[in-house]
Amino acid sequence: MAASGMLSTFRLPPLPTIREIIKLFRLQAAKQLSQNFLLDLKLTDKIVRKAGNLTNAYVYEVGPGPGGITRSILNANVAELLVVEKDSRFIPGLQMLSDAAPGKLRIVHGDVLTFKIERAFPGSLKRQWEDDPPNVHIIGNLPFNVSTPLIIKWLENVSCRGGPFVYGRTQMTLTFQKEVAEVTHHRKNSSSAAAVVAAAHYKGSHLKRQQLWRYLKSGVLDTLTKKSTMPQNDVCLLTMKVDVGVVHFTPLVQPRIEQPFKLVEKVVQNAFQFRRKYCYRGLGMLFPEVQRVESTGKLLELADVDPTLRPSQLSVSHFKRLCDVYRKMCDEDPHLFAYNFREELKQNKSKTQEKEDDKERDRL
């Protein structure tokens, strides 16, 4: 483990560029994993600067890939960098970085969704939740297929102060699809369930795109189209066809919605069940069919929410009132929170099928 008292500035020795690493190990962004490569080190330096002063910090990087952001983190003079990479193709390139930065870089070949970080760093780094954030940071250019489940997992960790948050209010600097990233502007409305839940637990700042998508798209295309057997349009799909935002998160001492995480998640996810319809349609799925109309009306009335708003037009304050009212309704009816409309649909279909089977038997 690297000593935390070093005063000299660490710089990586001359190494092959990320573009050369990609060519050397014949790496290609995997479409099924929603991977993208950051080749411009000026851009990765900018992303890392968004995390703040990392001198002597302990950093956990998720999804390092060929190591663009990894290099920028190491050059920020961190005490130790832990990277977790699921794709074995990237391990040799990361090992080159580890050899060039002895004692600085620790590589774990594993899945960020299951990796246990609770004991990865020294216990002396832990801080009380009400104190300033610890000198522990999470940084990552996330594949978009895991960004939503991962942030939801971390949000739940925040609520119980587990996972990366055993050290205190660990800060995170992550790339996201733009619609998720924009929630950190604290807009009046948000376009995804994950964005609303994130806004309830974090304060954040949004790094202007600076045409981040352009670097991702043109950089990988320049590399892959030369030897790729896939049509160029397919290579575009392997990179980026969506806008990207870089977000710096700091957990709130007190969440904006002070209800159990599972309750907040249930209300928000149900509201977004039918994102193009009025919000009462999705919120109605919180209640059994026999009482759906009455209970949904009561929920919206007590929460002072216009039933003709669409889910994307609901603000965090709307959801706060909805969650508070729904909690009271669950307290009055202990079976309500366990209700799942999908289970009721299955039971209704099963009963309908049984009736049809009975009629068929009667005809025979």
Which positions make up the binding site? Answer: 36, 38, 63, 85, 111, 141
Check if the beta carbon of residue 170 is closer than 8 Å to that of residue 134.
yes
Cβ neighbours of 21 (radius 10 Å): 23
244-251 and 171-177 beta bridge pairing:
antiparallel
Token reading at 80 = 């130790």
Query: Residues forming the annotated binding site for S-adenosyl-L-methionine?
Result: 36, 38, 63, 85, 111, 141
Largest Cα–Cα distance of the chain, in whole Å?
89
Instruction: Bin 291: left if φ > 0, else alpha if -120 < ψ < 50, else beta.
Output: alpha
**Edge-to-edge strands, sheet with 105-109:** 105-109, 80-85, 58-62, 136-141, 171-177, 244-251, 202-207
Minimal CA–CA distance to 170: which of 184, 183, 154, 149?
Answer: 154
Strand segments (E) across the chain:
58-62, 80-85, 105-109, 136-141, 171-177, 202-207, 244-251
Please state, in angstroms and rounded to a whole number, the distance separating the CA atoms of residues 146 and 63: 10
Q: Are 197 and 152 in contact (CB under 8 A)?
A: yes
Looking at the DSSP bridge assignments, the partners of residue 244 are 177
Beta carbons of 18 and 37 less than 8 angstroms apart: yes
**In whole angstroms, what is the distance from residue 102 CA to residue 96 CA?**
10
